[in-house]
Amino acid sequence: MKENCTKSKTELSKIFKTNLENGLEVEEAEKRLLENGPNEIPKGKVTHWLVIFLKTLMEPLQLILLAAAIISVFTSLVASNWEVSADNFIDFIVIICIVIIDGVLETVQEVKARKSMDSLKSFTKPRAVVIRSGHQQEIDASDIVVGDLIVLEAGKYVPADLIMIETSELMVDESILSGESVPVFKTSNPLEKETSILGDMKNAAFMSTFTTAGRGIGMVVRTGSQTEIGKIAESINENDESKTPLEKKLIKFSYWIALLAFLIGIFVFLTMFLKGNPQFWPSYLMVSITLAIGVIPECLAAVVSISLSFSTKRMARENVIVKKLASVETLGSVNVICTDKTGTLTVNRMTIKKIMHDNKILSSEEYLKLKKNEQKKLFLQSLVLPNDSVTEGKERIGDPTELALVDFAELAGIDEQEARDKWERIDEIPFDSERKLMTTVNKIDGKPTTFTKGAVDEILKVCDRIYINNEIRKITQADIEIILKQADELSQQALRILGFAYHQNYKNSNDKSNLEKKLIYVGSVAMIDPVRQSAIDAVREAHDAGINVVMITGDHATTALAIARDLNLAFSEYEVMSSDRLELMSDLELSRIITQIKVFARVNPEHKVRIVKALQEKGNIVSMTGDGVNDAPSLSRADIGVAMGITGTDVAKQASDVILTDDNFKTIIKGVGEGRNVYQKIRRAITFVISVNIANVLAIFILSLINDISPVEATNILWINLIVESVLAITIGMGPNDQSLMKIKPKLGKNSLFEGVWKPMFKICAFSTAAAIAGFYMGMSFTPSELYADRYSSWYELLKSTDATLQERVAVMTFGRTAMFLVMTISPCFYVNFIKLSNWKVSKKIQFNPNLPLVFASIFAACLNIIVLFIPGLNSVVLLLNPISSWNSNNWYLILASIGIAIIPGILILSTDAIVFFTYHWLPKSWERNRRIATEFVEKDKIKTVKKVNSVVEKDKKIN
C-alpha cells in the first residue's frame, strides 16, 4: 500500500491497467473477479460443537475421571470375586455422568458465545458505487476488483483500500483503524516519500473506514484479505488459541494427581503385602485401589466449570460477556491493562469544553449561564450555520468537530435544522485545507449575513473588528495577542480550537473572495473528546488493586498526555512514547523501559502487538481493551482481550475473550474483581476437596496397617467423594464476593494454584485424620461381644489374628465403620464453612459474610448422612453400615458421639485461625510491625505525591 501512495494517478493507471475516465470495462472486471476472488474479509475458524465437546473429554482432568470410572468397575469386580452384576457399574455411571455434564457445560458456553458473534459478515458493507465502461453503477461490494474506480460521498463506507485520484474536501473517519479520533483530510496528491504510518497516508482510504464529508474518486489497489483490515483479520485467524493460566494450572495439577494416585496405590499395596499376611493380597489390592480412587477428586472438574458458569452469569448481569469459561480466572490474574483511548477511556464524541469570549476563557457551563444578547445570538448562529452536520435522534452524520458545535448549540436552545430552515443559506465557500476556513451566507431577519469559521490564526487575519463586551470596535494588536495566547494555552491542553466571525456587507457577485474580508471576530471554542468520568474512577480502582494501566492510542502525544493527566495515569512527557521513537528501539531497549511508559501515542497495529509482547515477557498477565479493527491483533495476542460491545467492531469482538456490553471501562474492573473471587473460590474448593481426600486416605491407610484390613469400603469413599464433597464444593462457588481481594496486588510470574493453601490443608488433614481414627475406635467400643466371643476375647484380638477370615473381619468392624463413616462425612459439613483464604490481613475488623447456599448445603449433607443409616439396603448392603436391627437403647448414642467427634476439627480450625488473626493484628512481632509501618509510610507518601501533582495540574487549568 505504502509504495502506491507515492505514485501519480497516471502511473497508477498504467500499473493497474485502468482508464482514469471510464474505469474498467465490465468484461475486464468480471475476468479479474474470477482470477482474484471476491472482495471479502477472511472469516474466522468455526469449530463444530461436537469437536468442542470431544475436546473437553480429552482434557487431562477428564481423562483422570474416566480412568477413575474404569478403576471403580475393576474394584467392584474384585470385591465380588468377578461376578458381574448391575451393582458393579453404579460408580462408573455416576462418574461418567459427571464427565458428560462438565463437557456439556463447557460446550454450551462456547457455542452460545460464538453465536452471539456474527463473525465478520456485517463488517463488509454490501454496496458500493463504481465507474465501469464510463458509467456510474451501484454493485455488491464483494464484486469490487483491483483497478475499479470507486465514488465516495459523505456517509459512505470505503469498500476496499483505495488511492485517491480526485478529491473535493474529502474527510474520512479512520478511528477504527488508526485510533485517531479526528477525521483525516484526504488529498489526491501523491506522497513525497513512503511511510508505514497509516495516519500519514493522506492520499489513501482504507476498507471499512467512513467518509464524513466531501467527495472523491479512488482507485482500488487492494481487496479482501490484502486490505489492511483483511490482513488484521487473517492474522487473528492464524493465531493459535493459547491456554489460560487456570487451564495450565489445572492441567499441571491433573498430572500430579494422576501420579499421586498411582504411587499411593503401589505404595499401599506393597506396604501391606510385605507387612501383613500374603494370603490377604486381594484385600490389600482392594485397599490400595480404594485409596487410589479416594485421592482423585472426581467432582473437581464439575466444581470448576460450575463455579465459572455462575461467575459468567453474574458478570453478564454486570455487562460483561465471557466467551470462554476459563477466561474469568484469567481476568482476575491481570496486572496490566493496555487500553485504547478513543471510545474506551473517552466518550468518542468531540465536546466543547471552553469558550473564548470577551478575551476571557470560560467553561462551556459558564458560557451557557450568560444572559442572552445580540453578541451571544450571533456566536451561536455561527456555530450551526456554517456547518453541514446533521443530528436527528440517534442519527449523527457529519464531521465530529461540526457535530460538537451543533451539540453545544442545542444545549443553548438552538436546533440546527430549525435554524437552517429559518435562516436560509444563499451562498457559501466550502472548507479548504489551505485557507482553513469555511464561509456561508444566510438570511438573518431578511439581511444577508456572512458567517465564517476556521483556525483561529486564519480567522484573525481576515478580521478588522471584534465584538466584545456587547459592542463592536476595531480589533487591536493587543486583542490579537491575547486571543492567540489563549488559543496556544488551550492547544497545549490538547484542545482543538475553532474561531468564528461574521459581517453584514454581502454583495452578490462571482468573486467570493470579499466574503472573507473585514470580518467581525465574535469568539472561539475549544473542544476535545473528553474522558469518561467512570474511566477516572476505574483507573483509580485499578491502581488500588495493583493493576498498571497503559494507554495506547493513535492520537498525537500532546492529546494523549492531556487525556492521561485527566485520568491520573501520566503526568509528564517522559511517560509518553510516540511510534517514531518506538520504531527506532530494539526489543531489548523496549524491554528495559516498558514499565516506565504509561502512554503510547501514534501507534500502528503492529506496535500494539509489540507492546503487549514486551509486557508479557516481563512476566505480566496482560489485558488489552479496545473497540477498533486496529486493536484486534493485540486483543488476540494479549492474555485476555476485552472488546467494546456497542462501538466495538466485529473484528475486535471476534479477537477478544471478553466483551463489555456497556462500553464502560469501569466494567472491566468489576470483571477483574469477579475473576479474582472465582479463582479464590476455586482454590477454596480445591483446598477442601484435596484436604478431605488426603485426610481420608491417611486415616484409612493408618488403620489398614494396624488391622490388616480397610476400615471402610470403596462405596463409602465414593459416597464421600461424589455426594458429600460435590454438594459442598459446588456451593463454595455460590457465595458472596470478597471485596478485600481488590486491595491485593497480583504477583508477577508464576502463581501456583496451591500458594497460600498449605497451612489450611495441613490443619484440615491433621485434625480430620485424628478425628476419623478416634471415631473408628470409639465405634469399635460399641461392638457387641457375640460378634467375636466364640473364638476371641476381644475384637482387637480378632483383627490381629491370622486365623480370622475376611468375612469375620468385615463383620466385627461394622460399628467402627459406621462411626468412622459418620465422622468422615459430617466433619467436612462443619469445617467447610471456616476455610478462609481471603485477605484477612487487610483489616482488623472481622468480616462476617456468610455463604448461605453453602450453609444450607452443609445442613442438607449432614442430615443426608444420618438418614442413610436408616435406609434399608443402602445402609447394610451398599455401604456395609449397621443395619436398622442392630440399633437399641444401649448404642443409639453412638450417633451423637460420632457427631460430637466430627465437630471437633471445625472447632480446632476456627480456634487456630482466631489465634493467628489476633496475633497478627494485636500482638505482631517487632520486625513484622516495623515492616507494616514502613509499608504504610510508603503508601501515604504515594498518595501525597499524587495529590500534589493533581493540585498543580488543577492550578494550571484554572490559570489557563
Q: Name residues whose C-beta falls within 8 Å of residue 562's C-beta, 6 or more positions apart in sequence.
A: 493, 494, 495, 528
Strand pairing class (336-340; 548-552): parallel
Residue 917's closest CA among 850, 830, 828, 839?
839
SS3 195: coil
- The C-alpha torsion from 251 through 257 and 258 to 263, rounded to 10°, is 150
Rg, the chain, Cα only: 37
- The C-alpha torsion from 516 through 517 and 519 to 523, rounded to 10°, is 50
SS3 873: coil
What is the side-by-side strand order in the sheet with 599-601? 320-322, 658-660, 640-644, 622-626, 336-340, 548-552, 599-601, 576-578
User: How many other CB atoms sit within 10 Å of the CB of residue 415?
Assistant: 15
Helix or strand holding residue 397 (H, E):
strand 395-397
First to last CA, the chain: 43
List C-alpha distances in Å: 609 to 604, 718, 952: 9, 49, 35
For residues 133 and 153, the answer to whether their CB atoms sit within 8 Å is no
SS3 792: coil
Q: How many helical (H) and strand (E) elements, i.e. helices and strands, does the chain have?
A: 34, 26
DSSP state of 23: B
DSSP state of 388: -
Each residue of 664-689: b (16+ CB within 10 Å) or e? bbbbbbbbbbbbbbbbbbbbbbbbbb
Q: Is 388 a catalytic residue?
A: no
Residue 87's closest CA among 100, 72, 99?
72
SS3 643: strand
For residues 173 and 212, the answer to whether their CB atoms sit within 8 Å is yes
Give how far the C-alpha of residue 929 lies from the chain's centroid of Cα atoms, to the nearest Å: 37
Q: Name residues whose C-beta falls within 8 Å of residue 674's C-beta, 6 or more positions apart in sequence.
A: 311, 314, 315, 318, 320, 328, 331, 332, 737
Long-range pairs for 281-284: beta carbons < 8 A, 24 or more residues apart: 282/78, 283/708, 283/709, 283/710, 283/806
Q: Name residues whose C-beta falls within 8 Å of residue 188's C-beta, 6 or more positions apart in sequence.
A: 9, 164, 165, 166, 167, 203, 216
SS3 82: coil
Of the candidates 91, 102, 148, 340, the residue annotated as catalytic is 340
Q: Largest Cα–Cα distance in the chain?
A: 131
Residue 474's closest CA among 518, 441, 510, 413?
518
- The C-alpha torsion from 514 through 520 and 522 to 525, rounded to 10°, is 40
Distance, CA of 880 to CA of 780 (rounded, Å): 15
For residues 32 and 220, the answer to whether their CB atoms sit within 8 Å is no
Distance, CA of 731 to CA of 725 (rounded, Å): 10
Distance, CA of 908 to CA of 587 (rounded, Å): 55
Residue 185's closest CA among 398, 428, 433, 389?
433
Burial, 690: exposed, middle or buried (Cβ in 10 Å; 0-12, 13-18, 19+)? buried
Residue 337's closest CA among 533, 541, 534, 547?
547
Q: Which residues are catalytic?
A: 340
